[in-house]
A = this chain, B = another copy of it.
Amino acid sequence: MKYIQTIPTCETCDLQKFSVFKHLTKIELANLSIDKGCNFFKRGNVLYNEGNRINGFYCVNQGVVKLVKTGIEGREQIIRFAQKGDIIGYRSILSKELACTTAKVIDDAVVCFIPASKLFGLVQNNNSFAMELMKLACKELGEANKFILDIAQKTVRERLAEVLMLLRETFGLDEDHVLQILLTREELANIVGTATESVIRLLSEFKSDKIIALNGRKIQFLNENTLIRLSNFYE
């Protein structure tokens, strides 16, 4: 964890245009920058731990953070990812509960920290912001509900196929159709909710079926339609 020399100000941060902060006035943005902390975190760094009381929320400026819950015998379940423009920790502030996840950096990141008071201030004074925040929470809730259905009803193969497509949507592919996020097999297993060995086996199966190509942690998408079909996509 390294202190950043030039703290990106919220006013000049181009991420705010697309984020939950998009309806803030110049003054509100300037005010947001005051008291704001900003740090650089390497892969493996933890922003906060499950069960912590956090007194602010985090805005990811660069890199990728995974939010995980720790279960039986320390086994992690990845709940979601946060990348540039995403905010994390706001749930536990708003519901006045302890953090329900651990936030761990998986791709070297620059993350800003904003005290809870600022969040409450904005909610009080800017209705559009309150609405945006609510929309965000409700969207996440919808996604969580969808995931509950999937994990309850789909096979591991279907879920892995679906997770690959979700990762594709979230992180995109480069010009060679290579997924723009590197995850260990264990991390993949911790999203899908299965054993690491199962992911390894299924990935090689997808590979021999020419659906994907593998090169270390790089996953190249060769046949997305089949992947969608394998995920038992409906609706």
Give me the interface of A with B, judged by CB distance under 8 Å: 51, 69, 71-72, 75, 77, 79, 90-92, 94-97, 100-101, 123-124, 127, 130-131, 133-135, 137-142, 144-154, 193, 232, 234-235
Q: List 26 A-B contacts (CB under 8 A).
A: A69-B145, A69-B146, A69-B148, A69-B149, A71-B150, A71-B153, A72-B153, A90-B138, A91-B142, A92-B142, A94-B135, A94-B138, A95-B139, A95-B142, A96-B135, A97-B139, A100-B142, A101-B145, A123-B131, A130-B130, A133-B134, A134-B134, A134-B137, A137-B137, A137-B141, A141-B144
| Residues in B neighbouring A141, C-beta threshold 8 A | 91, 95, 137, 140-141, 144
Q: Complex Cα distance A131/B116, Å? A: 13
Q: Is the CB of A152 within 8 A of B151?
A: yes
The verdict on A135 contacting B77 (CB below 8 Å), with A51-B235, A141-B141 known, is: no
| Residues in B neighbouring A151, C-beta threshold 8 A | 148, 151-152, 193
Extra 18 A-B pairs, beta carbons < 8 Å, given A94-B138, A95-B142? A75-B153, A77-B149, A91-B138, A91-B141, A95-B138, A95-B141, A100-B142, A101-B145, A123-B130, A124-B127, A127-B130, A134-B134, A141-B141, A144-B148, A151-B151, A151-B193, A152-B193, A153-B193
Most chain B C-beta atoms within 10 Å of own C-beta, residue among A92, A95, A96, A138: A138
- Quick one: copies of this chain in the complex? 2
| Residues in B neighbouring A101, C-beta threshold 8 A | 145
- Nearest-neighbour CB distance to chain B for A32, whole angstroms, equals 18
Q: Complex Cα distance A66/B37, Å? A: 44
Q: Is the CB of A234 within 8 A of B72?
A: yes
Task: Specify the chain B residue showing the minimal Cβ separation from A234.
Answer: B72
